[in-house]
C-alpha cells in the first residue's frame, strides 16, 4: 500500500469480508496495531469509510470477550456480534513430571568416575529420546539456547546408540531452509520427527498431526499453553500434553524461589486455569504503541506523497487503532521525526519523507513492525560471559541469573549492547527467575490458592484428577511444606538471613512497580519469579517505607520508566522522544494502582493484627 496505492485500490475495490485467524496473537501487539491500521487505511483508500468492510476474527484462546470488538474495530464504526462456540468436549491426556538437579551440581562437575555428573536436563533428554523416537512430537523449550542445547544432546544420544537422528531445532534464528526442512518432515510424516522449538511452531504453520506436545519447564502463559496443547490430538484423537519440570535439590543456602518450587507451582496454576476454568489472559488494549505509530506515519506519507499533520492524526488516531494517542503526543512525535530527518514540512504545510525516512521506507525490512529482542553481551572484568536476549526490565544494581550464578548489574550500555556485571553473594542463585514475558495477576493468585488449599488436583464432576508423577508430587510437597512452615498464607513479608523477601502473589507489572519504588529509596532490591528480595535490610524498615507510600502523592509510570536504562523494546523506539518512550514503557511495564492497592491492604492487615 505504501509503494503502490493505485494497484491496491484496484485490487481490493470489491472486497467485502476480511477473516483474521488466531486473532489473539495480534491483540495488544505491534503486528496487531499494524494490521488494524492497514485495514483502516484500506477502507479509506477504497472509499469504504461510510460502509466499512466486514471483519471476522477467529480464535480458540480469547480472554475477556467483551473487549474484543474494541480491538477488532477500534473506531466503533461497525457493530460487532460475538459468537461463542459450544462447550468443548475435547479429550486431554496430561501429565506433569518432575526432575531434580543434585545440590551444587552443574554441567561441569564430575562424578567419582571422572565423568560429568548427570543433571535434570540429561534425564529430560533420556525421557525425550525413549518416548519420542519413532513418532511425531513438538517439544517447546521456551528459549533458543535451551532448544539448541537439548537438540545437541539428543543428537549425541542418537549417535551413541547408532540410530538415525529424529530430533531437530526450530527457532527464528535458524535459516529459512533449516526451518522448512523440519516443517516438511512433520507435514509429510515419512520420517519420524520431533521438533524442539520456541514459539515458532505454536501457531500459524500447518505441520499436520503430532502425537504429543511437550512443554519443558513453566510455560509463558495460559493461552500459549493452550495453543501448544492444541497442536496434538487432531482428527478425533485426544490431545496429549506432557510438562517436564526441572527443580534444584534443596540445600542450606537455597533461594526462597526454589524452596517454594515456583517453576512447578506456576505450571500447575496455568494447567488448572486452562483445564478447570478455561481462562486465558486478557489482551493489553491500553498500550500506546508509539513505535508502530511512527512506522505508520512513514507508510501513510509514502502512500500519498505528502500529508498534513491533522490528516495523519485523523487517519491513524481518531479513525484508526491509535486511539490512546493525544494530539500533543502526535505533535511531539512529528517534531522528533523532523529532527531525525525522517520527515520534513513543506511551505504548503504538508509532511513529506526526508532522506533518512526514504531510506527506511525503501528497505525490505520496513514491512514488519516487530523485532526480536536485542541481544546484550554480559561482561565481567572485561571477559565476555555470553549473550542474552533482553526482553524484560534490567536496572543498574539489580541481580540477574546467568550461567547458573548470581551477578550484580554494574552498568547497562544501551548503545554498545553491553551489561557489565560482577559476581555477588547472596546464597545459591534461584533456578527459576521468571520467563521475561509478563505473568498475569490471575496466574500468581492461582498459585497462592493452590498452596493455601494444599491441593493441586482438578475436579471433573465428582472426581479429582491427579496429574503429577511421583517426583512431581515430592517437589510439590516440599514447596507446600515450606509455605506452611513459614505461615505464608498470612505473611507477605519474610526475613531470611540478611534479606527481606516480599511476596505479593501478583503479576509482573505490580512486581516491577514495587521493585523500582524500592530502588528509588536506595534499597538493593531484586525480583525473581514474581517475588522481591531486599539485601541487607530490616523487615520493619522495608515494610514501613512501602506503607508510607499510601499517604504520599503516587508516582506516575513515566517517573518509574525514567529509572530504567534500556526501554527500546519495539522496532522504532530509538526514534522516539524521551517523554513518549517513558510514557509507552511506563504503561507497558508498571501497574501503580494495583501496587498501591496491595500495599494498602497489607497495611490494613498489619494494623488489624497490632490492634
Instruction: Domain of residue 577: give its range.
Output: 487-610
Q: Do 58 and 194 sit in the same domain of this protein?
A: no
130 and 206 housed in the same domain? yes
- On whether the CB atoms of residues 25 and 203 are closer than 8 A, the answer is yes
How far, in Å, CA of 359 to CA of 429, rounded? 46
pLDDT value for 384: 84
Give residue-wise pLDDT tens across range 375-429: 788 888 888 887 776 666 678 887 776 655 678 888 888 788 888 888 876 544 4
Residues 180 and 201 in one domain: yes
Strand partners of residue 55: 18
Q: Read off the C-alpha cell for 129.
A: 529420546
End-to-end CA distance of the chain: 68
Do 395 and 534 reside in the same domain of the chain? no
Residue 320 lies in a domain: no
* Domain termination residue (choose one: 223, 249, 275): 249
Instruction: Give the whole-angstrom CA distance, residue 42 versus residue 35.
Output: 10
CA atoms of 149 and 166, how far apart (whole Å): 15
Residues 404 and 495 in one domain: no
Do both 39 and 130 map to the same domain? no
Instruction: Note the residue count of the chain.
Output: 611
Q: Residue 266 is placed in which grid cell?
A: 506456576
CA distance 539 to 493: 7
Please say which residue of 249, 278, 312 terminates a domain: 249
Q: Provide the number of structural domains found in the chain.
A: 4
**307 assigned to some structural domain:** no
Residue 483 to residue 329: CA distance in whole angstroms: 47
pLDDT of residue 116: 61
Domain end among 21, 56, 89: 89
Q: What is the pLDDT of residue 391?
A: 62
Note whether 482 and 516 are within 8 A (CB).
Answer: no
Query: CA–CA separation, 195 vs 198, rounded Å?
Result: 10
**Averaged pLDDT, groups of 10, the chain, 611 residues long:** 85 94 88 94 93 91 82 89 72 93 58 67 95 94 85 92 94 82 91 89 76 92 88 79 95 91 96 92 89 97 95 96 96 98 96 96 88 77 78 75 74 85 65 61 97 95 92 97 96 94 96 96 93 95 96 92 90 95 95 97 92 77
Q: Is 233 a domain residue?
A: yes
The cell for 539 is 523487615
CATH number at residue 168: 3.40.50.300
Q: What is the pLDDT of residue 144?
A: 81
d(CA 182, CA 23): 26
Q: Identify whether residues 152 and 7 lie together within a single domain.
A: no
Which residues contact residue 609 at a Cβ distance below 8 angstroms, ignoring those fewer than 6 apart? none
Q: CA–CA distance from 302 to each of 1, 19, 360 (Å)?
A: 9, 27, 11
What is the SS3 assignment for 422-458? EECCCCCCCCCCCCCCCCCHHHHHHHHHHHHHCCCCE
Tell me: do 132 and 225 sit in the same domain: yes
Q: Are strands 351-353 and 92-101 parallel, antiparallel or unpaired?
A: unpaired
- What is the torsional sign of CA 59, 65, 66, 67? negative
Check residue 27 and give left, alpha or beta (phi > 0: left; psi -120 to 50: alpha): beta
Do residues 221 and 437 make contact, with C-beta atoms less than 8 angstroms apart? yes
User: How many other CB atoms are found less than 10 A from the CB of residue 156?
Assistant: 13
**pLDDT tens digits, residue range 294-304?**
999 999 999 99
Radius of gyration in angstroms for the set of CA atoms belonging to the chain, rounded to a whole number = 26
Residue with cell 556485571: 421
Note whether 61 and 105 are same-domain residues.
Answer: no
Give residue 105's pLDDT.
45
Amino acid at each position: 500500500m505504501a509503494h503502490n496505492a493505485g494497484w491496491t485500490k484496484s485490487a481490493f475495490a470489491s472486497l467485502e469480508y476480511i477473516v483474521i485467524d488466531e486473532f489473539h496473537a495480534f491483540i495488544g501487539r505491534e503486528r496487531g496495531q499494524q494490521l488494524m491500521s492497514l485495514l483502516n487505511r484500506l477502507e479509506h483508500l477504497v472509499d469504504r469509510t461510510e460502509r466499512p468492510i466486514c471483519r471476522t476474527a477467529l480464535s480458540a484462546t480469547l480472554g475477556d470477550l467483551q473487549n474484543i470488538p474494541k480491538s477488532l474495530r477500534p473506531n466503533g464504526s461497525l457493530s460487532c456480534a460475538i459468537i461463542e462456540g459450544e462447550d468443548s468436549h475435547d479429550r486431554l491426556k496430561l501429565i506433569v513430571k518432575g526432575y531434580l538437579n543434585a545440590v551444587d551440581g552443574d554441567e561441569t562437575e564430575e562424578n567419582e568416575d571422572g565423568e560429568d555428573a548427570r543433571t535434570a536436563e540429561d534425564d529430560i533428554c533420556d525421557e525425550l529420546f525413549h518416548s519420542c523416537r519413532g513418532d511425531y512430537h513438538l517439544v517447546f523449550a521456551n528459549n533458543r539456547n535451551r532448544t539448541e542445547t537439548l537438540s545437541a544432546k539428543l543428537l549425541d544420544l542418537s549417535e551413541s546408540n547408532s540410530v538415525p537422528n529424529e530430533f531437530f531445532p526450530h527457532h527464528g534464528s535458524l535459516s529459512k531452509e533449516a526451518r522448512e526442512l523440519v516443517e516438511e518432515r512433520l507435514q509429510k510424516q515419512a520420517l519420524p520427527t520431533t521438533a524442539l522449538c520456541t514459539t515458532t511452531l505454536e501457531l500459524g504453520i500447518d505441520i499436520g498431526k503430532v502425537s504429543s506436545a511437550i512443554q519443558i519447564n513453566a510455560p509463558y502463559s495460559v493461552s500459549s499453553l493452550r495453543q501448544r496443547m492444541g497442536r496434538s490430538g487432531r482428527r478425533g484423537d485426544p490431545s496429549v500434553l506432557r510438562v517436564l519440570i526441572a527443580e534444584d535439590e534443596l540445600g542450606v543456602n537455597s533461594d526462597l524461589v526454589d524452596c517454594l518450587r515456583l517453576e512447578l507451582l506456576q505450571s500447575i496454576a496455568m494447567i488448572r486455569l486452562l483445564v478447570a476454568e478455561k481462562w486465558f489472559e486478557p489482551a493489553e488494549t491500553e498500550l500506546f504503541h508509539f513505535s508502530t505509530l511512527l512506522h505508520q506515519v512513514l507508510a501513510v506519507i509514502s502512500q500519498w506523497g505528502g500529508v498534513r499533520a491533522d490528516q495523519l492524526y485523523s487517519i491513524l488516531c481518531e479513525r484508526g487503532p491509535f486511539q490512546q494517542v493525544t494530539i500533543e503526543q502526535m505533535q511531539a512525535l512529528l517534531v522528533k521525526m523532523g529532527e531525525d530527518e525522517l520527515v520534513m514540512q513543506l511551505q504548503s504545510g504538508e509532511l513529506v519523507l526526508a532522506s533518512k525516512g526514504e531510506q527506511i521506507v525503501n528497505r525490505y525490512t520496513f514491512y514488519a513492525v516487530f523485532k526480536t529482542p536485542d541481544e546484550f553481551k554480559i561482561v565481567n572484568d572485561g571477559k565476555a560471559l555470553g549473550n542474552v536476549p533482553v526482553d524484560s526490565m534490567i536496572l543498574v544494581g539489580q541481580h540477574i541469573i546467568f550461567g547458573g550464578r548470581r551477578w550484580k548489574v554494574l552498568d547497562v550500555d544501551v548503545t554498545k549492547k553491553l551489561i557489565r556485571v560482577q559476581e555477588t553473594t547472596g546464597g545459591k542463585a534461584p533456578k527459576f527467575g521468571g520467563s521475561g514475558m509478563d505473568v498475569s495477576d490471575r496466574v500468581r493468585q492461582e498459585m497462592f490458592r493452590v498452596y493455601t488449599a494444599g491441593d493441586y488436583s482438578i475436579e471433573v464432576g465428582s472426581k479429582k484428577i491427579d496429574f503429577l508423577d511421583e517426583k512431581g508430587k515430592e517437589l510439590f510437597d516440599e514447596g507446600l511444606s515450606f509455605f506452611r512452615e513459614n505461615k505464608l498464607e498470612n505473611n507477605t513479608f519474610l526475613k531470611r538471613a540478611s534479606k527481606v523477601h516480599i511476596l505479593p502473589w501478583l503479576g509482573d507489572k505490580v512486581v516491577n512497580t514495587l521493585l523500582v519504588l524500592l530502588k528509588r529509596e536506595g534499597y538493593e532490591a531484586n525480583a525473581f519469579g514474581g517475588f522481591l528480595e531486599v539485601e541487607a535490610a530490616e523487615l520493619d524498615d522495608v515494610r514501613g517505607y512501602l506503607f508510607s507510600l499510601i499517604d504520599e502523592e503516587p508516582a506516575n509510570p513515566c517517573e518509574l520508566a525514567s529509572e530504567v536504562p534500556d526501554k527500546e523494546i519495539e522496532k522504532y523506539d530509538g526514534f522516539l522522544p524521551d517523554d513518549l518512550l517513558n510514557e509507552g514503557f511506563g504503561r507497558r511495564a508498571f501497574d501503580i494502582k494495583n501496587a498501591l492497592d496491595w500495599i494498602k491492604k497489607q497495611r490494613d492487615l498489619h494494623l488489624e493484627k497490632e490492634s
